[in-house]
Structure 1
Amino acid sequence: MTRPIVIGVGNRFRRDDGLGLEVAERLDGAVAGCDVALADGEPARLMELWRDRPLAVVVDAMRSGAGAGTVTRLELGLDELPARSARASSHAVGVTEAAALGRAVACLPGRLVLFGVEAAALGDGEGLSAPVAAALNGVVARIREEVLGRCV
């Protein structure tokens, strides 16, 4: 596979944890030549999705202590990834752990970019909190710009 991919990570039944899925669904078909996938954050699945890709952009909810709705962009190799994932979600490991594992077993894309949106609500239920919903269009636009020009 030589096309870039956007991977939305999350669980839509855990409020803001559904952010990554919502972003990916909005981008699906919006950038010609770019694949879009949904994932629950399981490392083997993420590595399968980004294997042999020139660019993988992963979007997920996170908890880092920043204000709710704050968008953070990290690029593997340019930015230091946190030792422990900053995410607080319904699964045990996060995207940064999957990236560390991928690095250890030589299973990374050409470029790996992570977009995290600071969550306000991660409890049971559907629907994004107001600050995360307000950040949604901006995240979609930033990711679209990130992959535009890299898609064939």
Structure 2
Amino acid sequence: MKARAPKLCVGVGNVLRRDDGVGVRAAEILAGMPLPPQVEVYEAGTAALGLTSVIEGREKVVGIDAMHAGARPGAVFRLTPAHLRACFHAGLSLHEVHFLDALEETLLLGTPPREVVILAVQVGDVSTGIGLSPAVERAVDRVVELALHELGLPNTAGGACATCGELCLGRRTPWK
């Protein structure tokens, strides 16, 4: 049996609901990068089943998801499971409640990840359709950069793009 990578990035969301797919989009970009063997990327989408077995026992899990917090679209938040629970109980919506459920299951099993961070992006448009709104599309590069940092990896693009001056990781092609 192949050994599991100690670090995991999980992208969650519904790509058929525009900005709700931001976590999956970020995971797609990360999965296309040359990452070391100690890092795994998992595109969970909206699949709740099996998420516990994917995250349990890891050294670090970085989740990327959409959030409804009333902030400006594209705003990025760094949350811990404690923040996530507080957001859920305060009525804010990080749609991925089953991510919290999976974390709770790992605690019950005695195999929780050592560290969990959630990078959440404020949505602007969750109507039916494919593709991110411009504000959330611009945030994807920042989320990827933050995920790389959380995973202990250097910025593979070497900083700001010479063309646009932003952290675009050299990728200026919008998701269609």
TM-score by length of 1: 0.82
**Given the alignment of the two structures, is residue 118 of structure 1 paired with residue 125 of structure 2, yes or no?**
no
> CA offset at residue 94 of structure 1?
4.3
The residue type equivalent to 1:87 in the other structure is L
**Given the alignment of the two structures, is residue 18 of structure 1 paired with residue 21 of structure 2, yes or no?**
yes
Q: 1:95 to 1:67 in 2, by over 3 A?
A: farther
**Given the alignment of the two structures, is residue 6 of structure 1 paired with residue 13 of structure 2, yes or no?**
no
- Structure 2 unpaired stretches of 5+: 154-176
Q: Relative contact order: is structure 1 or structure 2 higher (C-alpha 8 Å, sep ≥ 6)?
A: 1
Of 122, 134, 148, which residue of structure 2 is paired with 1:144?
Answer: 148
Q: 1:123 to 1:49 in 2, by over 3 A?
A: same
> Which runs of structure 1 show a deviation greater than 6 angstroms over 4 or more consecutive aligned residues?
none
- The root-mean-square deviation of aligned C-alpha atoms, in Å, is 2.3
Q: 1:130 to 1:71 in 2, by over 3 A?
A: same
> Between Structure 1 and Structure 2, whose CA radius of gyration is higher?
2
Q: How does 1:21-100 map to 2 (within 5 A)?
A: 21-28=24-31, 29-33=33-37, 34-76=39-81, 79=83, 81-82=85-86, 84=88, 86-88=93-95, 93-100=97-104
Residue identity (%): 28
**Size of the alignment, in residue pairs?**
145
The residue type equivalent to 2:20 in the other structure is D
Superimposed CA distance per residue, residues 42-96 of structure 1 (whole angstroms, 9 cap, x where no aligned partner) = 444221111111111010111112221111111236x56326262247xxx3433
Instruction: Tell me, in whole angstroms, the C-alpha distance in 2 between the residues paired with 1:5 and 1:42.
Output: 16
Instruction: Tell me, in whole angstroms, the C-alpha distance in 1 between the residues paired with 2:19 and 2:87.
Output: 23
